[in-house]
Structure 1
Amino acid sequence: MVPSLFICHGAPSLAIEDNEYTRFLQELGERFNPKAIVLFTAHWESDIPILSYRDSAYETIYDFGGFPPELYQIKYPAKGSTAVASMIEKKLNDHGISTAKDTQRGLDHGSWVVLRHMYPAADIPVVQVSINPYLSPRDQFKIGEALRGLGNEDILVISSGGTSHNLRAIHWGQTHAEPWTAEFDDWLIEHIQNRDLESLFDYERLAPHARLAVPRAEHFLPLFIAMGSGEETKQPKCLHRSYLYGTLSHIVFEF
């Protein structure tokens, strides 16, 4: 049995860094040995969930610019799984959620930056899933709910994004949080641990500094998918919390 996870993937350069957070991700991967991974990535947007549908190895997508050349040499040749993708598709469809398949797209950095640290051998099948950043938190939660119970089948659900993710307010080299970043994450952690779903669904109005921390929702909303797919009676946990550049959260939740 494995949980559902929300993992902040930070900047693409995280893939080649050795720090407190990357070492934690490596240890996290050692804790769980899933038979497959279903990963919702903030870097693939669509109106309905699109599932990668292949059994062959993925190409590695470098969907960023201006980083060290060595970052563009990284390959993460994990394979897909049409069997798992079909299972996910059925679960979503059975809950009235329309889906589509994609047989061509590779793994974007929202996926491989995290997976490279957790599972460096790239030997676990991955089904990558798109997100719709215009759906409400409640509707994102319902997508997760449709997948509840996958952990009992040793399928690890990961939502990859960010809590505080304001690229326009970053402070290069700063490894402690800006006060407003910390206050937003404090609020978030408290309400997640208290299972206060109604407040979380209304985070834009209730959370301090929500507009600063979440200037656009594509990185934040995958949190609700992970939350919905977790065990209903399990106490949510904040497994890790650190920061980069003052406004990029490195937080991991287990549901």
Structure 2
Amino acid sequence: MTRGNAITHSCEPGILYDFGGFPKALYELTYPAIGQPELAQTIQTLLAKKGVQAHLDSRRSFDHGVWIPLLHLRPEADIPIVQISLNVDATPEDLIDLGSHLYSLREQGVAIIASGGLTHNLYDIQMKHQKVADYAARFELWVTEQAQKRNLKALQNASVKNPDFKQSHPTPEHYLPLLIAMGATTKEDEFSQLTSPIQHHSISMTSFLWQGVS
């Protein structure tokens, strides 16, 4: 997360191990993906035309929100990547608008990936506990229903409207990327749910995919 919108602008950004308290093996993983400065400049120009300021950051590396999911999705690390940071000053409405501004990139063959988690309560993790937290199950189901209906207003206001939000997300940074993804969709898109069981009592990594209908 950054103040303002930062865009990676380097051919070889490298990766950040921006987490702590995990097994040593996690810090030995690598993901040698390359960047694409030309695309970064295109994104900056595109956003500027929409009145959104973003700066190019040639020193910023890919954080774990980028390389951990892609390590599973594309282990070959053979696709150029540009990361846009999560702006701490952005409102939920701003994030939906950001996704909308980026939509045209899809028409150029650019995949827009927003990573986070449907629930992310690290304070309630129980590594040996197989029972799913009731609040996590309810929130996962609710978000899935709203995403499938493309109910942007409900998802935008989840933090104040859904009683399970605070337990599911003690801090909101793992939820907010969903709003960017939703903003980059249309009513005509085909919706798919990639289900993953809730793990360790309180962690849902269920994902959604929107594709244009050809």
- Match of 1:141? 96
Selected match of 1:202 from 153, 157, 162: 157
User: How far does residue 134 in structure 1 lie from its aligned partner after superposition?
Assistant: 4.1
Which amino acid letter does the alignment assign opposite residue 53 of structure 1? H
Structure-2 separation of matches of 1:121 and 1:140: 30
CA–CA separation in structure 2 for the residues paired with 1:82 and 1:59 = 14
CA distance in 2, matches of 1:184, 1:230: 22
5 Å-filtered alignment, 1:97-246, equals 97-246=52-201
Q: CA deviation at 1:156?
A: 0.8
The answer to whether the Cα contact below 8 Å between 1:53 and 1:82 also exists between their aligned partners in 2 is yes
Tell me the residue number matched to 1:48: 4
Q: How far apart, in 1, do the equivalents of 2:191 and 2:49 lie?
A: 26
Larger CA deviation: 163-172 vs 190-199: 190-199
Equivalence for 1:21: none
In 1, the alpha carbon distance for the partners of 2:38 and 2:156 equals 33
Distance 1:72 1:241, change over 3 A: closer
Identity of aligned residues (%): 33
Rounded Cα–Cα distance in structure 1 between residues aligned with 2:128 and 2:49 = 47
> Does residue 78 of structure 1 match 2:33?
yes
Stretch deviating more after TM superposition (219-228 or 127-136): 127-136
C-alpha displacement of 1:206: 2.2
**Whole-angstrom CA distance in 2 between matches of 1:151 and 1:175:** 39
Question: Which ranges of structure 2 fall in alignment gaps of 5 or more residues?
Answer: none
Q: How much does 1:176 deviate?
A: 5.0
- Equivalent residue letter for 1:166: N
Q: Which range is displaced more, 170-179 or 109-118?
A: 170-179
1:193/1:235 contact within 8 Å kept: no
Unaligned runs of 5+ in 1: 1-44
Larger RCO (alpha carbons 8 Å, 6+ apart): 1
CA distance in 1, matches of 2:95, 2:136: 23
CA deviations 1:125-154 (Å, max 9, x no partner) are: 110111124422211100000011322221
C-alpha displacement of 1:244: 1.7
Aligned length: 210
4+ residue stretches of structure 1 with deviation over 3 A?
none
> Which deviations, in whole Å up to 9, do the C-alpha atoms of 1:42-72 show, x marking residues without a partner?
xxx12221000012x2322111223222222
Q: 1:238 to 1:134 in 2, by over 3 A?
A: farther
CA contact (8 A) 2:115 2:177 kept: yes
Contact 1:171–1:246 (CA under 8 A) maintained in structure 2: yes
* Residues 168-177 or 112-121, more deviating: 168-177
Contact 1:79–1:126 under 8 Å retained in 2:
yes
C-alpha distance in structure 1 between counterparts of 2:202 and 2:93, whole Å: 26
Letter in 2 for 1:229: A
Supply the distance in 1 between the matched residues of 2:62 and 2:72 (Cα, whole angstroms): 15
SS of equivalent to 2:115: strand
Does the 8 Å CA contact 1:167/1:247 hold for their aligned counterparts?
Answer: yes
Q: CA deviation at 1:194?
A: 1.4
Q: Is the 8 A contact 1:175 1:245 kept in 2?
A: yes
Q: Give me the TM-score of the superposition, normalised by structure 1.
A: 0.78
